[in-house]
Copies of this chain bind each other. A is one copy, B any other.
Amino acid sequence: MALRNLIRKFSGAFGWAEVERMPYKEEGSAPFKAISRQVLFADPVFKCELRYFEMEPGGYSTLERHEHAHAVMILRGRGLCLLDTEVRPVASHDLVTIAPMTWHQFRASEGEPLGFLCMVNAERDRPLLPSEHELKRLRAMPEIAAFLEGRSAP
């Protein structure tokens, strides 16, 4: 069906008319916690998709990497972002560029949800999970170990 002109109202609570709040990923496919996915724009006329992900307080996305890049804008709340070997605080409206093959993970603060927009190419490779060896290498860095175990204060 051809793309049609459309205004979808924000419903408050970071939901939108005609946008379904979906599971982040298939359960059991990868580690994640308390995170939802809403696809805001994904028509074939666009070469990219725009999605909105939201983590409840203490929730986190999957630690993963892939050949495609992510263009992220935090839309609400605050939390931490693991980007390669750095753990960085992020807050509403910050911009995060995730380059190809960079290990990355988002984690909401304990106090409030963390929601972000993510623009991504429609044609893209599947995410890769860290091997035991790679996890061990990451966990050897104390700051990353604290992040992965949810011990970092955002």
Contact = CB atoms under 8 A, between A and B. Distances in A.
B48 A47 contact: yes
Given A7-B83, A45-B69, A81-B7, A40 B95 contact: yes
Interface in A56-104: 68-69, 71, 73-74, 81, 83-84, 86, 88, 90-100, 102
Given A6-B97, A46-B71, 4 more contacts: A47-B48, A50-B71, A50-B119, A119-B119
Nearest to A4: B99
Contact of A46 (B4, B74, B88, B121): B121
Contacts of A68: 45
Give the number of times this chain occurs in the complex, counting copies: 2
Contacts of A90: 7
A10 B77 CA distance: 13
Nearest to A52: B73
A3 interface: yes
A122 interface: yes
A123 to B, nearest CB: 8
- Interface size, A (range): 35 or more
A57 to B, nearest CB: 21
A7 B117 CA distance: 14
Interface in A1-54: 2-10, 14, 16, 19, 40-41, 43, 45-48, 50
